[in-house]
Every structure is written in C-alpha cells, then in structure tokens.
Amino acid sequence: MRVLLTGRRGQVGSELERAIEGVVATDRASLELSDLEAIRRKVREMKPEAIVNAAAYNAVDKAESERALALRINGEAPGVLAEEAKRLGALLVHYSTDYVFDGAKRSPYVEDDSPRPLSVYGESKLAGERAIQASGCRALILRTSWVYGPRATNFYRLIRGKADANQPMQMVDDQTSVPTTAAFLAQFTMELLKRKAEGLLHLVPSGAATRYEFAREVVRRTGSRSNVEPVKSDRFPSPARRPAYSVLSNARAAQLLARPLPDWQTALSTMT
C-alpha cells in the first residue's frame, strides 16, 4: 500500500515512520502544510492509497497570536488532504486533541460530546476535524491528549530532566487529562487500521492524571530525590486557556480493538 505520512520529524510521525512499511514520509522541508497548493501537488504526484497526517501546529500559547497560521495548518490543510483523499478514494488518518473541549464536564468525554474549545489551538484542531468530515472522504480521526515521547520538547522531558538532576519542581494539580506516549499512538493506530476502522475515535490510554500526579509517578519510577510541589494553574499564567478536565473515554476504540487499552502508567513504563 502506498502511504503518505506528514510530520515525520514529530513525536508521533517518527514512531509511525518506523511502523509503516514502505511509507513516503515528509517533513516541513519537503512539504510545508501552510502551502495548500504544495499539498495538492504532492498528493497528486504520489497518488497514495492512504494519507497519515501526523503534522500540526502545536504551539498552544503561540497560536493565540498566530491565529491565521494555526487555522491554516490545523484547519485548512487537513481539509485539502481530505479533498485529495476523496478524489483518490484514499483513507485519511488525522490526529486531533482533547483541547476541542472546554473542561466543564467531570466525567470522561465521549466522541458524541459537543466540542467547545477555549483556545485558538483547540479551535484550529476542531476546524480540521470538521473540514475532513465535510469532505466526505474515508477518514479515521483520532483525538488524543498530552502526547509525549523521547523526541521534541514535551512535559515528560521537562520532568525527567529535573528528576534526573534531583531538582525540585512545581506541577499543576488542577488540570486533568490522559498522558499518552507517541509509541502508544503509533501502535494502536496501526491496529485500528488493520481492523479497517473509520470515523471519529478517542485514542488514549486508560485512566487519568493531573500533571502533578504524572510528575510524581515519573519521579518515583526514576528513583529521583526531587520534591514535587502541587500548585494551581494561575501560578503559571499563559496566553491560552486550557481545559481543567479533558479526560477522553477510550471505550469506543477498545470495543473496536476487542480488548481494554493499557493504562497511562503502563505506557509510561516504556519511557522510564
């Protein structure tokens, strides 16, 4: 199968490149997603049977001042990929986020819950979802949360660096979601594709944690002497609002895979 992968240098893209046999993988140097015509040219030149879009504008705070760029990359570009997929009869796999929700709910969000993003980033990711759905192409849209891995800058690497140096840290205890490794996403994306899954799914490990709880677990597993202090989000003012609760239910994905998904602590064990 001819597969076009975007975002090969990102956390999820790098894992997918290793997992997909014979994939043609692109990065910003070879395919800039803000250039919509370049996207059309690349897809029409390659004629893939599947497109996996692991690229995105992920600078949550910076998006508040770069709204047009965030919407172009996260909203318009997936729409163009979807239009081209529809023309070819190809499947489009796309990643979205828990930040499409406002955090007002206090039980895990399911796929049928109404989105209400608080930030430009969340708004742009929701725009991408809707553009794909409006195209009528075959698509698998995977919402996930708090993605981390050994590559790029992420909250796991920040915590691990401090833990390894036995440095104290402050972590917020009023934001709750599901920490998700890039390797987990790649593994279960491939399993869902083997089962020919389509539609909108939440793909995260089981369970939930605050950033404080996650940091405590990293410190415990590494044997670090770091002290982790719980603080409120207002200790770290930021341009973008983040949902206080954005736990995603993975029940629908688990049903399709015919087994429960591992919890976030099990996923973390592959990192520590």
Residue 50 and residue 91 in contact, taking contact as beta carbons nearer than 8 Å: yes
Q: Provide the token pair at 205.
A: 């490990």
Residue 33 and residue 71 in contact, taking contact as beta carbons nearer than 8 Å: no
Q: 57, 95, 109, 121: which is the annotated catalytic residue? A: 121
Give the span between the Cα atoms of 100 and 205, in whole angstroms. 18
In this structure, the dihedral spanned by the alpha carbons of residues 65, 130, 250 and 188, taken in order and rounded to 10 degrees, is: -90
Partners of residue 263 on adjacent β-strands: 206
**Strand order in 138-144's β-sheet?**
24-25, 3-6, 50-53, 91-97, 138-144, 199-202
Is residue 121 part of the annotated active site? The answer reads yes
Q: Where are the alpha helices (DSSP H) in 25-119?
A: 36-46, 67-71, 77-88
Q: Provide the token pair at 128.
A: 């991408």
Does an H or E element contain 200, and which?
A: strand 199-202
Which residues form the catalytic set?
121
